[in-house]
Amino acid sequence: MTRRRWIADEVSGNRAALVGSHADHLIRVLRAHVGEEFDIATGATVRLGRIVSLTDGRVDFELGEELPVSSASNITLLLSIFKFDRMEWAIEKCTELGVSHIIPVIARRTDSHLALAASKRVERWRRIALQAAEQSRRTALPEIASPLKLEEAAKLPSQLKIVLAESERRIHLRDFDMPPGGEALLAVGPEGGWTEDELQLFDNSGWRSASLGTTILRAETAAIAATAILISELA
């Protein structure tokens, strides 16, 4: 049976720990006990961990052998802010697929109320990403940044910068070759899509437009589909 994987909150030498609600889930929901073994992701490695103590809000592990892991992607998802329930679905699934960073972006068509509330949702998005990362046996969490305005996000550097655009008819996402190291930025627009001046901003900043096909997808569907396509190029 495959051991469950946990991403450690604290690591020191051959010891690691889960703390707070992270630990409480293991203690109260999964009813863990001293001596039980799990895979523990410690940042750079994954090691076999044996529980040595359980207290309220804390589980301590003794770390053993290092375990083999697959290489991680270096794909940053620029996700325009849209309705939070659907955005959370996109964050969860794109985390499972393996994105390394998620940057919430305030675009021209982002609802103003959502834009104002977004900074207060970041911690919730990080908790969702943590749960999804552990469920999918990742070695590390994706970094979820504080919201950025599109003008700032468009200037971020990368070997490959791709913006999904409904107006693109010739170039499909699957046509791109991933650069060495698999580094890429992928931008997904809000409900209603990017405005013309936003697409011009992307173009001026070195981004390349891509299509996912002739159908118009919801923002969360486009984010998940596009992430899956890019991740498959790294397999």
Taking only the tens place, the pLDDT of each residue in 25-61 is 999 999 999 999 999 999 879 999 999 999 999 999 9
Do 144 and 122 share a structural domain? yes
For residues 121 and 113, give the distance between their C-alpha atoms in angstroms, rounded to a whole number.
Answer: 13
Final residue belonging to a domain, choices 67, 102, 119: 67
Do 223 and 152 share a structural domain? yes
Quick: pLDDT tens for 138-154: 998 999 999 999 999 99
Backbone dihedral angles phi then psi of residue 183, each to the nearest 5 degrees: -85, 125
Do 175 and 102 share a structural domain? yes
Do 93 and 180 share a structural domain? yes
Do 225 and 156 share a structural domain? yes
For residues 184 and 168, give the distance between their C-alpha atoms in angstroms, rounded to a whole number.
Answer: 19
User: Amino acid identity, residue 177?
Assistant: D
Residue located via tokens 């770390």: 63
Do 150 and 47 share a structural domain? no
In terms of residue numbers, what domain contains 36? 5-67
Percent of the chain topping pLDDT 90: 84
Do 129 and 54 share a structural domain? no
pLDDT band at 90 (very low <50, low <70, confident <90, very high): very high
Do 185 and 124 share a structural domain? yes
The mean of the pLDDT values for the chain is 94
Identify whether the C-beta of residue 194 lies closer than 8 Å to the C-beta of residue 112: no
User: Domain containing 103 — which CATH number?
Assistant: 3.40.1280.10
Residue 1: per-residue pLDDT: 62
User: Domain containing 45 — which CATH number?
Assistant: 2.40.240.20
Domain count across the chain: 2
For residues 132 and 175, give the distance between their C-alpha atoms in angstroms, rounded to a whole number.
Answer: 29
Q: List the one residue out of 52, 43, 60 whose CA is nearest residue 7.
A: 43
pLDDT band at 232 (very low <50, low <70, confident <90, very high): confident
Global model pTM greater than 0.85: yes
Percent of the chain topping pLDDT 70: 99
Secondary structure of the chain as H, E, C letters? CCCCEEECCEEECCEEEEEHHHHHHHHHHCCCCCCCEEEEECCCCEEEEEEEEEECCEEEEEEEEEECCCCCCEEEEEEECCCHHHHHHHHHHHHHHCCCEEEEEECCCCCHHHHHHHHHHHHHHHHHHHHHHHHCCCCCCCEECCCEEHHHHCCCCCCCEEEECCCCCCCEHHHCCCCHHHEEEEEECCCCCCCHHHHHHHHHCCCEEEECCCCCCCHHHHHHHHHHHHHHHHC
pLDDT band at 135 (very low <50, low <70, confident <90, very high): very high
